[in-house]
Structure 1
Amino acid sequence: MRTRRWIFSAVMRLLLRCLRIGQRHRSWPTQKVRQLWLYGRLCLRSLLYNSFTDSDTALDALFEPVYWLVDHITRWFGVVFVALVIILTGSVVCIVYFCLLPLILRTYPLPWVFWHVIYGHWNLVMIVFHYYMAITTQPGCPPQQPKSDIAAVSICRKCIAPKPARTHHCSICNRCVLKMDHHCPWLNNCVGHFNHRYFFSFCLFMTMGCIYSSVSGWDMFWEAYAAIEQTYGQTPPPNFTFSQRAFHKSVVYAWVLCSSVALALGALMIWHAVLITRGETSIERHINRKEKKRLQKKGKVFRNPYSYGPLGNWKVFLGVERKRHWVTRVLLPSTHPPKGSGLSWDTSPCVSEQKTDLLAI
């Protein structure tokens, strides 16, 4: 009896051991694969970990191919945009000289003739001067070997060079620009410290010229438009000569073009006027908004360190140091340089003690 029991228990122990071994061998591949998966995921997370990663960073990464495409297209089409500005402006000037000015000299009273001739030519000179200066003047770049008295607030990740305050890298020009506002394809140039005034003055005087042309040519436009409607709406059409039809179409073309540019460029000019009043650039506008939200969460008030008040900001921007400069440097063509070198900036006294990370952005 004892022998049978011993044999039975031995057989049962052997069966149980075989079952355990079989289960162990069946679960081994699953555990090994799971361990490899967890280890690979941990390695991937450790390589891609970034404490600053958020939804904005993910969107920037997704739109990086779009940014690259826009940068390269803008770089190659800058010359085309400049040629387009010259052609469109030249066409309006030719229409005014060959079509409208002879009519004004014949039909307008002498005071209005003097007004149109003097104001029109002054506005044209200011447009041409500031556009030429905005194209040909370099916006300013930090030196490759910075001097010891220049305080660099950060290092450019693309140029691998010290970057002064208010300096940003332009991916189109592939360089850092002092007090960069934006890259303008209509100038084929960056708008920065040394040509920002020329850019804004061009926008201002071009808007003024377009408004002047639209308002003064309102009656001529409606007469020309009515004549064109008669040509295509009546049967038989009026017997206009080729020169008359060309005159009507030229007046309508010039008025529509000037009105469209006045609306579009006027909105841009007003936006930049608001930025100048606040003492900030287009890039700094976005940076300051983020900084303002960050300080609001901490119960603090953000103050722009480069703002000297509305009137003070305009004086610094336009280079007005004396009262006569409002005429010699604003209302007349002037090549005076901006205030400062663009490498260092004096902060406003009311915010000199404000310690933020704004300069290093």
Structure 2
Amino acid sequence: MYRSGTVMAWNVFRFCTALRGLGSIMILLVLGVVGVTYYAVVLTSYGPSLVSGSGILDALIALAVLVLFHCLLVMLLWSYFSVVFTDPGSVPPNWKPDLDEERSDTDPLTTSEFGASPADSTNPRVRFCKKCNQLKPPRCHHCSVCGRCVLKMDHHCVWVVNCVGALNYKYFLLFLFYTFLETTLVTLALLPQFIAFFSDGEIPGTPGTLATTFLAFVFNLAFALSVLGFLIMHISLVAGNTTTIEAYEKKTTPKWRYDLGRKRNFEQVFGLDKQHWFIPSYSEEDLRRMPALHGLEYPSKPELESQEF
């Protein structure tokens, strides 16, 4: 038994290490695409148009493209590295719920209510992780890659070498949002040069700059289309106040206890302060008055508080 458990743990470790290594490659891939795109848009196409003095209209268009490109790039990278370096939320040591959220009463849960052996308990009101050997807060799930329970876990993303959970889900959504805007802008900005590849006229530039422009267009078009799909999916999840994992779990549940209406569902992720909605951070006031942003407590519909998913 001991040997089998050791082999299993070793295999899981290899699996996790492989995924983490893949994630590091993905970060380099993202930075590589950003570098190729920057070279094609700024150094090859619109930078020279701005300084060449070819015409006032061309200079104004180039200036508008470059300003918008850099603004979106800053927001994209800020959101991206916020997801990478922000812990998605872990269960505090020896955490126990203060209230029985499933019964919505005011009586503290006692040790006896958890059962003598939580791992073997049949009490449906208490969620317990046998892998971490600890109680699990509402909406918390175990990540096999990270090897721990993550608060309001959505998924483990190899692109950011991190889990997406309660504390960085907003940053992930902003990363998708700004990535879509940036890649769409680049696709439209490089479209004339891409069309010129298939024309009979002479195309200015060296073979290296032409190849870079072509690759930048193809990469950004592919990213724009793929990110659009993810963005639409996560917008629907936010509207229903669910995560990717919960979207599958609640298929057997006719009503979702955490669905508070689209406006309040949105606020559960982005906060109440409108000035912070489009930046990867929260205001101190929101963090103080909204427990849901910390990942341990979530408001629910009173009539559905006894519902389990």
TM over 0.5: yes
Larger relative helix fraction = 1
Counterpart in the other structure of 1:248? 210
Q: CA deviation at 1:91?
A: 1.9
- TM-score of the superposition, structure 1-length normalised? 0.67
Coordinate RMSD, CA, aligned: 2.6
Q: CA deviation at 1:282?
A: 0.2
CA distance in 1, matches of 2:198, 2:212: 10
Counterpart in the other structure of 1:144? 93
2:42 aligned to which of 80, 90, 97:
97
Q: Higher RCO, 1 or 2 (CA under 8 Å, sep at least 6)?
A: 2
Counterpart in the other structure of 1:343? 296
Amino acid in the other structure paired with 2:66: V
CA distance in 2, matches of 1:306, 1:224: 52
CA distance in 2, matches of 1:102, 1:111: 12
Q: CA deviation at 1:270?
A: 1.0
Contact 1:224 1:249 in 2 (8 A): no
Q: CA deviation at 1:153?
A: 3.1
Q: CA deviation at 1:88?
A: 1.6
2:228 aligned to which of 266, 270, 291:
266
CA distance in 2, matches of 1:196, 1:88: 23
Contact 2:33 2:216 in 1 (8 A): no
- TM-score of the superposition, structure 2-length normalised? 0.77
Change (3 A) 1:217 1:148: closer
CA distance in 2, matches of 1:254, 1:154: 48
- Secondary structure at the residue paired with 1:133? helix
Counterpart in the other structure of 1:119? 68
Amino acid in the other structure paired with 1:133: S
Amino acid in the other structure paired with 1:268: F
* In the alignment, structure 1 residue 130 sits paired with structure 2 residue 103: no
CA distance in 2, matches of 1:290, 1:148: 26
Unaligned 5+ residue runs, structure 2? 1-10, 101-124
Q: CA deviation at 1:147?
A: 5.0
CA distance in 1, matches of 2:261, 2:176: 23
CA distance in 2, matches of 1:245, 1:344: 58
In terms of Rg, which structure is larger?
A: 1
1:174 aligned to which of 135, 147, 153:
147
Q: CA deviation at 1:70?
A: 5.9
Give the % identical residues: 26
Change (3 A) 1:287 1:77: same
Contact 1:225 1:248 in 2 (8 A): no
Contact 2:139 2:152 in 1 (8 A): yes
Counterpart in the other structure of 2:180? 207
Equivalent residues in 2 for 1:1-361 (5 A)? 71=16, 73-105=18-50, 106=52, 107=54, 108-147=57-96, 149=98, 153-226=126-199, 243-291=205-253, 302-321=254-273, 325=274, 328-332=275-279, 334-336=281-283, 339-340=290-291, 341-349=294-302, 351-352=304-305, 355-358=306-309
